[in-house]
Structure 1
Amino acid sequence: PSVMVSASEADEEKPLPFGTLFVHGKRFDAFHVRFRDISRGGMRLVTPHSAEQYALESTRQYDECYGLAFAQQLKNKDIPEGGSKAVNLIDTIGLSDSGKNFVMRKCVKAFTDTILDLIVEDDIVDLYGQKEVLYLGPDEQVIPEDIEWIVKRAAVRGYGTPAAFMSSKPRAGINHKEYGVTSEGVNVYLDVAIRHVLGLNPSEDSFTVKMTGGPDGDVAGNEMKILFREYGDNVKIIGVADHSGCAEDPTGLNREELLRLVHDGLSIANFDGSKLSHDGVVHTCDTPDGVKARNSMHNRLEADAFLPCGGRPNTIDITNYQHFLKPDGTPSSPLIVEGANLFVTAEARQALFDDAGVVIVKDSSANKGGVITSSYEICAAMLLSEDEFFASKEQIVDEVLDKLRELAYMEANMLFREFENFGGSLPKVSQIISECINVATDALTAQLATLTKQDREALLPLFRQHLPKTLADLSFDHVHERVPDQYIQSAISSCLASKMVYKEGTKFIGAQPKEKLAAIALKYIEKEKEIALLKEALADADMPEDKKQTIVDLLEAGGARTSLGVY
């Protein structure tokens, strides 16, 4: 990594990656960047249309890969895998569609084989000297054919857990769009944010939403379904914009018509105009005025919340963020929950907060449901055969959804608690939370390697608690046979780190010396066990129930931390 980022350049804003792989092949160059020994992230294929565009993409390829991997590292805070990304720049200039497809598939195979050369083969110069455990996922232009080939190739090449090497497998995977995993998390953050920012109870009070991303999209389409499922007539979606155009209605777009488009996989341009109120309108992108209306909808319409669930990265940036404000300087929406990645740039987020008080739930928090789901898919692929997983798939998926909602609620509540107590912008608080969990995870992983096998076994229940119950019940007796030791240690570390940070807050973690953080965390889990025993003993105590509950609440709120004697 220091070849690409020197030690002098590396700092808290741009930390040095754990590892960087570069692959050069016929018609392609590829980078894989990871921020932890065990990491997971998508592989995207970049195919510029011209020589000039190819040259431009080439100059920024590493920076793009680094930035995506770092964003993934922040998002992966709740799971055993650190963040990684692969960007494969492929020369398909001048090729026919069939020729382009052929070259892309060949380059995926060549890149995969080279990665497997480096992490599987014994007859290479290995200065690292340890087994490497990498996991890939699909990103832009990766197709099901690639996914199936990669898994089969990993098995042929002798990778230890080939079914886990690539996520989103057709049969043994958890399809993000089918189950709406990203949107389930987005809606949790929206719910908590509405209560804190708008002072409304969305289960009882009416509120309005505008969205980018169409009914045929993964995040936007599923979010529409979830909004109506959770809030019924209380929610009014007053505007939706996607690649085809936009539909607007100040009284709320017709629920049944939106759900029809979601069900049929149709874009917003297919919205039936007869379902609009007198003031509603549908604009399509086959006219200049339609394009203009679509491109400005997210700025023009006034709504309680804006959900960017699709659209181009950097749509709102430092040069145009003021278009999101009304003439009096107040925002067209006081709340933004980022279902899509990078719709608003970091500079624009800060400017919207500074100039107009816009509260923004950052993408690395709001849409983390997808990476949590992919992580559980990796666990399932290691612990169960494909047939075993498929036999219990629906139950496991239901439990995965419960887990990701729980993790989303934990972070969302902490986000607003720290935001309201300590100030600063919400995106900055989000990043601090991620960094605190990651620092604690890394410290614990290093510490676990020094413990005896018996001491590590005592911590294994943390990993089991992390897993969906059905998956754990079916397979945990075989965890050491099927899961690499490195992964188990990383899972224990991430579980304990996130538990402690979400419970005690970032100020507590930040106040501890880094060299003592792991020891404090291990003591913390012991104190939690003591508190649990005290609560059990309290159940039999002869005192009024309200007094018992008060003591229980106090023990849960700060018992473990107080008994540590560390502040």
Structure 2
Amino acid sequence: MNQLSSRLGRNISLLYCIPQNKFQNLFAAGRLRLQETIYGHCAWVFVQHFLNRLGSEYASLVSALDSNNSAHAEILSNVKRRLRTETFTSAYILEIMGQYPDLIRSLYSSFAETHFHGRISSEESSPTTPVGVLGDKSLKDLISRTVNNEHEQLVMDAFRTFNNSVLKTNFFTLTKVALSFRLDPSFLPAIEYPQPLFGIFLVISSEARGFHLRFRDISRGGVRIVKSRNRDAFSINARRMFDENYGLANTQQTKNKDIPEGGSMGAILLDPQQQDKGSVAFEKYIDSIIDLLLPPVTPGIKDPIVDLYGKQEILFMGPDDNTTELVDWATEHARKRGAPWWKSFFTGKSPKLGGIPHDHYGMTTISIREYVSGIYRKLKLEPATVRKMQTGGPDGDLGSNEILLSNEKYTSIVDSAGVLVDPNGINREELLRLAKERVMISEFDISKLSKDGYRILVEETDATLPTAEVVANGMTFRNTFHLRRTGLTDVFVPCGGRPESIDLLSCSKLIENGKSLIRYIVEGADLFITQDAKLRLEQAGCILFKDASANKGGATSSSLEVLASLSFDDAGFLKHMCVGKDGVAPAFYKAYVKEVQEMIKCNARLEFEAIWRENAQTGVARSVLSETLGIAITKLDGELRNMGLWYNEPLRRSVLRDALPKLLLDKIGLESIIDRVPDSYLRAIFGSYLASRFVYEFGTLTSPSAFFDL
């Protein structure tokens, strides 16, 4: 009876997670058992994303191009996207799988033997089918003998890749809301993914599928929800999902060069018919990942899992597209589930939970301003005379804070509502009003424009400018304004806009007679300009700083928020870092925010000076040096971690005293911080601080071995 009850409970649990799987017809026909069909469904999702189908053409192209050249890397990325043709659609993969239920049974048997068998009680029977358990080599031979062609073998062999890469899963726990798998990323081909990942989580629910990727054990990055307008858009999003997730995590890795966390990123792709279920999908994604991070504490409800990884894992996440309003729930949920790291699980949470909101305190903008101000300082420019264009208007985080903190002469602003232009300078007081109220330029009082100024909204047609030019379509005018040769822009600070808004083709509109029409660009918005376009603009004389350097202030703020969460015990955290119900922030919180802002300025200034110096010495483009610095810091950091320096206690304590915020040291003490903060995190602080300070001071051309000669 106990066996039957347990088996029934597990089947109900699986049905709750995936009530409609792609192999129900085989279950109805008696060809597969329930757990086998849901296993097959999960493998089908895996195969869609990881079937290696680029072929020899891509390998030849990789060998011909220099993957260390950022422009070449971008070309390879674009070609890879094109080479992933429709040959293996999700429907075609499913069709192949459906032909071989006996193979699915054998593959499931191997999966269950690893992740279930041996962990159940003696009176409970195995959930596997009566198929003999085969080893990987035998499965490979069986597939080769059974399938009819190369395509079918490629698909069914991907099942083996799935089985071999799963390090732990909640598939066999009695209670769960979604299925989660911790994957060993070593199966990813290095030719396609040259920067190796540290870990992959795959989550599959009835509403969505999701990934969480990280490049180091200690990593931090956002989690976004991806929506699709229709089924065609979903298919495109699904094909691009993993590669875009990988690219964003890699960008975060570069951005995090001088903080302890490496780069990570999470993405949740809603199924076509579940576009209104973002919150539910997010909650299931978080809960199922927590299943793999926490040891079971309630036998019969949260059962032990087979952990082939065998080490403690802590993830640090933050808000991104469509998840900003959900991070408080994630924090509270981790707390309810007894996670000791609930305080640091998510950054971007509300101040009542100890969060430091980037937008409220302008954390990202503070970093951007250091680069803009650095240019003015180096070139001895008077900011009030510099004519400025900005995309991303006064209603957004970066746009509003850039307006509030800047002191240039704004001549044009582009936002979702349209375009606002005044060659004589946009009225400062009115612009500040919009920024403080967080409203778009559609709210601007146009009576405060000069006779040469104008505003064109996206819904307008056949509008006449003061120059007598007729704007036929306001939407088109808005979308292309940043490429117009207005002669009104000295500095351009993108604070919003679509990725790749300036590419190699369109950037030619900003170059005349071999010279850039815009002298200075500080890329506040992520990926606004493609790397090859950046290089072309720099060749034409533009002084350009890219996103991974300029907008890293938010990442620094999040890192220091995590550190405070780890350093305080629960009582101290609630007292000193959580804003009360009356909305009054503790004195420590206010002071800590100011120290965070100063550390952001310091890190940005150090990197700015290093890039400026190396560009002057070598002539290497600044957008390339941004990546070169990141690679040099990451490499030296890795070497330092493998050395015995950490075990030199006087050095370790000295470095930590320099690296840790003074307020935390004064309030908590170094000994308590060392006791509370995980050793791996302290090692990351130690390595990243030493490596970044060395590279910023001595440059990328100095051999890392010189570090040990100091």
Alpha carbons of 1:340 and 1:451: their partners in 2 closer, same or farther (altered >3 Å)? closer
The aligned counterpart of 1:46 is: 226
Q: Deviations over 1:249-303 (max 9, x none)?
A: 1111110010010111110122111111111111111124322332232222331
Alpha carbons of 1:160 and 1:443: their partners in 2 closer, same or farther (altered >3 Å)? farther
* 1:306 and 2:492 aligned: yes
CA distance in 2, matches of 1:94, 1:115: 21
Which secondary structure does the structure 2 equivalent of 1:83 belong to? strand
The aligned counterpart of 2:74 is: none
For residue 468 of structure 1, the aligned residue among 661, 664, 678 is 661
* 1:210 and 2:376 aligned: no
Which secondary structure does the structure 1 equivalent of 2:223 belong to? strand
The aligned counterpart of 1:83 is: 263
CA distance in 1, matches of 2:515, 2:230: 42
C-alpha displacement at 1:221, in angstroms?
Answer: 1.0
The aligned counterpart of 1:430 is: 626
- Give, as a single letter, the amino acid of the residue that structure 1 aligns with 2:406: L
* 1:127 and 2:308 aligned: yes
* 1:106 and 2:294 aligned: no
CA distance in 1, matches of 2:692, 2:186: 32
CA distance in 1, matches of 2:191, 2:455: 54
For residue 366 of structure 2, the aligned residue among 173, 184, 200 is 184
* 1:443 and 2:639 aligned: yes
The aligned counterpart of 2:507 is: 321
The aligned counterpart of 2:574 is: 386
Q: Rg: which structure is higher?
A: 2
C-alpha displacement at 1:321, in angstroms?
Answer: 1.5
Which secondary structure does the structure 2 equivalent of 1:49 belong to? coil
Q: Deviations over 1:106-162 (max 9, x none)?
A: 211111122212222363332332211210001000033x21221122223333311
| Structure 1 contact 186–366 (Cα < 8 Å) conserved | yes
Alpha carbons of 1:461 and 1:352: their partners in 2 closer, same or farther (altered >3 Å)? same
- Give, as a single letter, the amino acid of the residue that structure 2 aligns with 1:402: E
Deviates more, 1:474-483 or 1:55-64: 474-483
| Structure 2 contact 646–683 (Cα < 8 Å) conserved | no
- Give, as a single letter, the amino acid of the residue that structure 1 aligns with 2:522: V
1:13-92 correspondence runs (5 A): 14-92=194-272
Which secondary structure does the structure 2 equivalent of 1:372 belong to? helix
TM normalised by structure 2 equals 0.67
- Give, as a single letter, the amino acid of the residue that structure 1 aligns with 2:657: R
Which secondary structure does the structure 2 equivalent of 1:293 belong to? helix
| Structure 1 contact 240–246 (Cα < 8 Å) conserved | yes
The aligned counterpart of 2:517 is: 332
CA distance in 1, matches of 2:336, 2:396: 35
CA distance in 1, matches of 2:374, 2:624: 18
CA distance in 2, matches of 1:296, 1:248: 14
CA distance in 1, matches of 2:460, 2:231: 30
CA distance in 2, matches of 1:64, 1:418: 31
The aligned counterpart of 2:445 is: 272
* 1:6 and 2:189 aligned: yes
- Give, as a single letter, the amino acid of the residue that structure 2 aligns with 1:445: R
TM normalised by structure 1 equals 0.83
CA distance in 1, matches of 2:564, 2:185: 35
Deviates more, 1:368-377 or 1:265-274: 265-274
Ranked by relative contact order (alpha carbons within 8 Å, sequence separation 6 or more), the top structure is 1
Q: How much identity, in percent, do the aligned residues show?
A: 35
C-alpha displacement at 1:383, in angstroms?
Answer: 1.7
* 1:496 and 2:690 aligned: yes
Alpha carbons of 1:457 and 1:20: their partners in 2 closer, same or farther (altered >3 Å)? farther
Q: Deviations over 1:278-334 (max 9, x none)?
A: 1111111112432233223222233111100111111111231112234x4432312
The aligned counterpart of 2:157 is: none
CA distance in 1, matches of 2:509, 2:517: 9
| Structure 2 contact 207–274 (Cα < 8 Å) conserved | no
Which secondary structure does the structure 2 equivalent of 1:424 belong to? coil
- Give, as a single letter, the amino acid of the residue that structure 2 aligns with 1:280: G
Which secondary structure does the structure 1 equivalent of 2:311 belong to? coil
Which secondary structure does the structure 2 equivalent of 1:507 belong to? coil
* Unaligned ranges ≥5, structure 2: 1-183, 297-303, 462-472, 579-585
The aligned counterpart of 1:253 is: 426
CA distance in 1, matches of 2:414, 2:511: 18
CA distance in 1, matches of 2:514, 2:592: 48
| Structure 1 contact 48–93 (Cα < 8 Å) conserved | no
CA distance in 2, matches of 1:456, 1:251: 61
1:221-232 correspondence runs (5 A): 221-228=400-407
CA distance in 2, matches of 1:158, 1:174: 23
Pairwise CA RMSD: 1.9
For residue 289 of structure 2, the aligned residue among 111, 115, 124 is 115
For residue 399 of structure 1, the aligned residue among 595, 598, 607 is 595
C-alpha displacement at 1:347, in angstroms?
Answer: 1.8
| Structure 2 contact 234–272 (Cα < 8 Å) conserved | no
CA distance in 1, matches of 2:364, 2:550: 8
Alpha carbons of 1:195 and 1:304: their partners in 2 closer, same or farther (altered >3 Å)? farther
| Structure 1 contact 299–325 (Cα < 8 Å) conserved | no
How many residues of Structure 1 are paired with residues of Structure 2 in the alignment?
Answer: 492
C-alpha displacement at 1:429, in angstroms?
Answer: 0.5
Q: Deviations over 1:74-118 (max 9, x none)?
A: 0001111110000111125376xxxx1xx2112111111222122
CA distance in 1, matches of 2:542, 2:640: 36
Which secondary structure does the structure 2 equivalent of 1:185 belong to? helix
CA distance in 1, matches of 2:371, 2:382: 12
CA distance in 2, matches of 1:105, 1:333: 43
Alpha carbons of 1:451 and 1:473: their partners in 2 closer, same or farther (altered >3 Å)? closer
Q: Deviations over 1:534-567 (max 9, x none)?
A: xxxxxxxxxxxxxxxxxxxxxxxxxxxxxx3xxx
* 1:417 and 2:584 aligned: no
* 1:173 and 2:355 aligned: yes
Which contiguous aligned blocks of 4+ residues in structure 1 show a shift greater than 4 angstroms? 1-4
Q: Deviations over 1:17-56 (max 9, x none)?
A: 1112211121211111111111000000001121111111
CA distance in 1, matches of 2:431, 2:596: 27
Which secondary structure does the structure 2 equivalent of 1:93 belong to? helix
- Give, as a single letter, the amino acid of the residue that structure 2 aligns with 1:185: S
* 1:482 and 2:662 aligned: no
C-alpha displacement at 1:4, in angstroms?
Answer: 5.5
| Structure 2 contact 324–348 (Cα < 8 Å) conserved | no
1:227-238 correspondence runs (5 A): 227-228=406-407, 235-238=408-411
Q: Deviations over 1:474-501 (max 9, x none)?
A: 1234112321111011111111111111
The aligned counterpart of 2:552 is: 368
| Structure 2 contact 614–620 (Cα < 8 Å) conserved | no
C-alpha displacement at 1:5, in angstroms?
Answer: 2.2
CA distance in 2, matches of 1:428, 1:281: 38
